[in-house]
């Protein structure tokens, strides 16, 4: 596995494009994406060819957050997301975080299964959190306790 630290923004963006190509979850513009990568506390992780996958996260003091997770369609069900989350959990623990939080659409059963398998639990609900194609959808807040 290669992490973002050894990649340029452009290389990381090309992985983002590969992972999100044809994906209904591709919601960020190129500009927003590159801007976000520069914010302090942002930690992107990536698996490079052939399993292009990305995880974008923020670590702020005792709280870590998964902002975006995407595995290229052809590479799914091979453990890529699990590896990225485990690497992120390790990094978060080293930096003093006590929990990882994320939001996931309540209809995204694949992702919910993944998070539950890795030890996350549902701790809250955000009403109308997602808005896409004129449709609103609630999101679960999920948490992984790191200590
Ligand atoms: C959700 C997603 C990140 C999973 O990535 P992945 O690399 O395929 O996940 P893994 O191979 O590590 O799967 C680990 C576990 O998650 C669950 N899981 C993952 N995909 C699943 C699916 N399609 N159906 C049911 N369970 C699934 C299973 O429990 C799986 O373990 P198993 O293969 O031993 O049964 C990927 O499908 C994806 O990129 N989806 C689109 C973007 C998205 O929904 N991101 C999450 C937003 S919150």
Inter-residue contact 53 to 20 (CB < 8 Å): no
Strands 121-132 and 135-145: antiparallel
117 lines ligand 1 (CB under 6 A): yes
Residues 49-73: what's their mean pLDDT?
87
For the domain that residue 6 is a member of, what is the CATH number?
3.40.630.30
Output the pTM of the full model: 0.90
Residues 124-139: what's their mean pLDDT?
89
Closest by Cα among 14, 21, 118 to 73? 21
70 lines ligand 1 (CB under 6 A): yes
pLDDT of residue 82: 95
Q: What is the mean pLDDT of the chain?
A: 86
Inter-residue contact 117 to 124 (CB < 8 Å): no
Residues 33-39: what's their mean pLDDT?
79
d(CA 49, CA 110): 23
Q: What percent of the chain has pLDDT over 90?
A: 47
Which residue in the block uniquely carries the two structure tokens 């500009």? 31
Range of the structural domain that residue 117 is part of: 2-145
- Both tokens of 22, joined, read 């044809």
Q: Which residues pair with 57 in a beta bridge?
A: 43, 66
- Whether the predicted pLDDT of 89 surpasses 70: yes
Distances (CA, A) of 4 to 24, 69, 126, 135: 24, 14, 30, 34
Q: Give the number of domains in the chain.
A: 1
25 lines ligand 1 (CB under 6 A): yes
d(CA 9, CA 46): 12
Alpha carbon 129 to its chain centroid, in Å, reads: 16
Atom of ligand 1 nearest to the CA of 78: 11
Inter-residue contact 15 to 34 (CB < 8 Å): no
Atom of ligand 1 nearest to the CA of 105: 48
């Amino acid at each position: 596995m290669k992490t973002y630290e050894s990649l340029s923004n452009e290389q990381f963006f090309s992985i983002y494009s590969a992972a999100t190509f044809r994906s209904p979850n591709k919601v960020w513009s190129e500009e927003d994406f590159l801007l976000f990568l520069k914010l302090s506390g942002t930690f992107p992780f990536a698996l490079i060819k052939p399993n292009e996958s990305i995880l974008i996260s923020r670590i702020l003091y005792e709280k870590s957050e998964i902002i975006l997770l995407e595995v290229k369609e052809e590479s799914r069900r091979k453990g890529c997301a699990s590896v990225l989350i485990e690497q992120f959990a390790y990094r978060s623990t080293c930096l003093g975080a006590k929990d990882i939080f994320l939001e996931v659409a309540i209809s995204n059963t694949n992702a919910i299964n993944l998070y539950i398998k890795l030890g996350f639990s549902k701790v809250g609900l955000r009403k109308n959190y997602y808005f896409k194609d004129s449709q609103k959808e609630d999101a679960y807040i999920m948490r992984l306790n790191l200590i």
